[in-house]
Chain A
Amino acid sequence: MKTSVFLAGLAVAGLAAAAASASTLSDVQKRGVLNCGVNTGLVGFGAPDANGHWTGFDVAMCRAVAAAVLGDSSKIKFVPTSGETRFTALQSGEIDMLARNSTWTFKRENDLKLTFVGVNYYDGQGFMVKKSLGVSSAKELGGATICVQTGTTTELNLADYFKQHNMQYTPISIKNDAEGKQQFLAGACDAYTTDASGLAALRATFEKPADYVILPEIISKEPLGPVVRQGDEQWASIVRWTLYALIEAEELGVTSKNLEELSKGTKNPELNRLLGSEDNLGGMIGLDKLWAKRAIAAGGNYGEIFEANIGTSTPIGLARGLNAQWNKGGLMYAIPFH
């Protein structure tokens, strides 16, 4: 089959008569590959290595879904998407799900007809300035020139914040972090603004990180999460509950190390339902009993994924903060598996 991709393409263009798709789940299972939209390259969140193997915090989400649905976290095709094309790619069916640090907003969900299935990272927009500027609060940035990425929610947040505080500013539009860094270091702008996670990651790449400070104000809420198309509730459920399974696993203390042992059955009914030794939750979303177990086995629980990709042990060095479990002062709160 694969040998005649070109001919198949020609043939298809000519006499298209394929059966209409029933659901995303059956499409993916028939295809045997999950098409997952990811960033073209964002440190810690999603990037290919020199051998084309994708890793990252968002990528791990794709892998968990592939493991739950197809039983193999490598049966996945990563489709790199830019800020402009990501939602179109999802709407057109080019990808089955999008895990590309996308902010959940009212308009994106209702105007673009997308479903954000949950939040896998709570971010917020911050500012970074040169220490020599002598600024210690974002409220002192009146009249500053500020580097901001185009086509993102950051632009809007920035305008809102300065309007709210009756301050003037001059925006300098940049295309990506690398360019922003260059402009900022060259002194083209007084402050650089993007998500706080991005600022921390960026500062870590500077030659003299100590010369720069990240201001304490977080001016926006940026709940980032995986996205699917509206209109296929079953598929949305699968992605949503895969995410919750990873979060729940951390709360219940299921890690990739003790997963095998715990899945044989424990005294905790909640844990048993999650791992499939009791009840049949997977059957209700069109999967088998062991879906969540496979999802967790793909890259560990939420906490493990966090630590491995963006946590304090990595060069990016993000603290859990808002992304800690709800009972540890964060906002990660899995819906119960009943």
Chain B
Amino acid sequence: MSDVTQAFHRSQMIPAREPPRSQRGAWKWMHENLFSSIGNGVITVVTIAIVLYIVTLSLPWFLHSVWNAKSLTECRTIIHATWGENAGGACWAVIHQNWNLYVFGFYPIAQYWRPTLAFVLLLVALMPILFSHMPRKMIWFSAVYPALAYWLIWGGTFWIAVTIMLGFVAGWLALRVATRLANAPLGVAAAVLAAVLWWLFAAGPVASGLQHLVPIRLPFVASDKLGGFLLAFIVGMCAIGFSLPMGILLSLGRRSDMPLIKTTSVVFIEFIRGVPLITLLFTASFLLAYFLPPGTTFDLVLRVIIMVTLFSAAYIAEVIRGGLAAIPRGQFEAADALGLTYWQAQRLIIMPQALKISIPGIVSTFIGLFKDTTLVIIVGLLDPLMGITNAVRASTLWNGIYWEPYIFSGVIFFIFCFGMSRYSMYLEGKLKTDHR
């Protein structure tokens, strides 16, 4: 048979056909990601049902938002008039009407420019710390910023802020002189002593003297006028700023060979970490009054800042100790071999690596700390989440409002915490030098 010669030969390529529907586009994606197995399919269906349920419940509420009203009753009237008798809706007017309360607490209205300016300057002061390509000279502004912010927010004479900063200068001078005359540990002791002595005895008189010569002052604003996000920011930023250096020292202290320093650090860290923040705040607020002589006023916000700082410093110390533990022994030995002193080694070799490793831990501690500032309600300070909301609700105009203030505070906190988180990822990426 000559059938073989009639074998089929294709003389031209057939055009490429589209892949089957299950292997392309949305179907493929869904098949791979949503319905890859029976179990996944069930989970997908259930999840979609839940999401739809929540959206159908809450979407009308969000759509029926009222932004301008004088009271909850007015809000409800508007909602009923616009969307029908049984419609429910969000009354964002409560935030609109109490905006100042949420942002500034009871800060005097005529002085709002002060915390606003302090906030803007905070951003400027943070720039050289957060981003390395800013002019290095700006770091000097960051260094004096705390005293400046204190003066702007609390007011009083400008010179008190100056003399506070001069205390650091006095300490630095003492450090230089004593280190040259004697040795380094003595220098540190002299620096601390000089600064404390300056603050205790010289700062007050010098400030009032300068005030007489060149009067620069702002009206004094008492701490109980602070509230809302202003308070959360003051407590959060102070605690973040002070707890990082303190945590670094504590973590070094815990790894130190000197028994006294090691024991002190361990006891401090373990004690603070073992106690809830609320207990510390409670102690700061009420127990201190038992120990201090009667009639002494020790600013409550200051007490709270100190306690929150100590609390966060203990956590930071442990996070950084984790970073220190991750550094190979060879790095320490190399520093020793180069003849670096302890502090030089820490500054140039150990800490840059340890801090880099600890960034995620440090930032999550800071985020936790920032959110924990809402706990100050326990000692009667008006935090934005509960304190101000309580006060707003207690007025007959807004009594009965529930979700809106929580959602508002939640969104604001989310923005800042998410910002911190993104920055930490940026920083990690920038400092990534290994080739893993």
Chain A contacts to B: CB under 8 angstroms: 2-21, 27, 30-31, 39-44, 46-52, 77-82, 84-85, 88-89, 91-94, 176, 178, 181-182, 201, 204-207, 314-316
State A32–B207 Cα separation when bound (angstroms).
25
Instruction: Give chain B's interface residue range (CB within 8 Å of chain A).
Output: 35 or more
CB pair B100 A80 closer than 8 Å? no
Closest beta carbon of chain A to B84's beta carbon, Å: 13
Given A6-B150, A21-B295, check contact A92 B290 (CB 8 Å): yes
A3 to B160, Cβ gap below 8 A? yes
- Give the chain B neighbours of A2 by CB distance below 8 A: 156, 220, 222
Q: B292 — which chain A residues lie within 8 A by C-beta?
A: 12-13, 16
* B425 proximity list for chain A (CB < 8 A): none
Q: With A18-B294, A41-B390 in contact, do A92 and B286 touch (Cβ < 8 Å)?
A: yes
Instruction: Name B's A-contacting residues (CB within 8 A).
Output: 72, 76, 97-98, 100-101, 105-106, 109, 150, 154, 156-157, 160, 164, 196, 199-200, 203-204, 207, 217, 220, 222-225, 282, 285-287, 289-290, 292-299, 302, 377-382, 386-387, 390-396, 399-400, 402
Known: A50-B97, A181-B402, A206-B400. A18 touches B391 (CB 8 A): no
How far does the Cβ of B235 sit from chain A's closest Cβ, in whole Å? 15
A82 touching B377 by the CB < 8 A rule?
yes
Q: Are A12 and B289 in contact (CB under 8 A)?
A: no
CB pair A49 B293 closer than 8 Å: no
- A94–B294 touching, CB < 8 Å: no
Contact B200 A14 (CB under 8 A): yes
A18 partner residues in chain B, CB cutoff 8 A: 293-296
5 nearest interchain CB pairs? A52-B106, A205-B400, A41-B394, A47-B394, A3-B156
Q: Which residues of the other chain, B, contact A49 by a CB distance below 8 angstroms?
A: 395
In the complex the two chains form, is A93's CB within 8 Å of B294's CB? yes
A85/B286 contact (C-beta < 8 A), A12-B298, A48-B106, A182-B402 known: yes
Q: Report the Cα distance A206→B401, complex, angstroms.
A: 10
Q: CB-CB < 8 A to B379: which residues of A?
A: 85
Most chain B CB neighbours (cut-off 10 Å) among A20, A27, A47, A316? A47
* Interface CB pairs A-B, < 8 A, 11: A7-B203, A14-B200, A15-B200, A30-B295, A40-B387, A43-B394, A43-B396, A46-B394, A50-B97, A85-B285, A88-B286
The listed residue (B200, B224, B294) touching A11 by CB distance below 8 A is B200
Quick one: which of B204, B289, B382 contacts A94, CB cutoff 8 A?
B289
Contact partner of B106 (CB less than 8 A), chosen from A10, A16, A51, A207, is A51
In contact, A205 and B72 (Cβ under 8 angstroms)? yes
Docked-complex contact A52 and B396, CB < 8 angstroms: no
Query: Hey, which chain A residues are within 8 Å of B400, CB to CB?
Result: 181, 205-206
Q: Which among A8, A20, A48, A78 is the interface contact of B294 at CB below 8 angstroms?
A: A20
Please measure, in the bound complex, the distance between the C-alpha atom of A281 and the C-alpha atom of B240, giving whole angstroms.
56
